Amino acid sequence: MQRRIIPDVIDGQQSLCLLPPNATAYAAALLMRERRVGAVMVTVDGPLLGIVTERDLVYRLQAAGLSAQQTSLREIMTPAPETLAPDDLASVALEKMRLGHYRHLPIVDAGRIVGMVSIRDLYECTRQTLELELKSAESLIYGDQYGMASPAPN
């Protein structure tokens, strides 16, 4: 089964985590904690400028000895990150993540940010797909009644 990013992996209705490049790393960390996400997208008036992830906060901020309250996202973001289109396949997203060692990829449609997909989203989609394929195979092999409880004897 070929799963598309929208609507099969994410619904496209998620609340976006967006901050301007002059926002502080501290503001990004607070937003990530509040929304329980691992990345924020950096933008001004629409176009995606960059992404800041938990990993960036550790490697580019903490490990470099920078102050979260004084460091702007512009200083630690990954500029012009790789993106996905809403109709890209989940398998394409997984391959991009594998090759680039990413855990988050922004979803952009005609230059407009429409979402973010995470490795957890893709894991859940893959799990559901495998479960459906297994049930379908069991039905084909054993018949439609496989796995249903048999009636109690009279």
pLDDT single digits (tens) 37-61? 999 999 998 899 999 999 999 999 9
Sheet holding 78-79, edge to edge: 18-19, 39-43, 48-53, 78-79
* Domains in the chain with CATH codes: 16-140 (3.10.580.10)
DSSP string, 2-20: --BIIIII--S-PPP-EE-
Among residues 17, 16, 19, the alpha carbon closest in space to that of 76 is found at 19
Q: Give the pTM.
A: 0.80
Say if strands 104-109 and 112-118 run parallel, antiparallel, or are unpaired: antiparallel
pLDDT single digits (tens) 59-113? 999 999 999 999 999 999 999 999 999 999 988 999 999 999 999 999 999 999 9
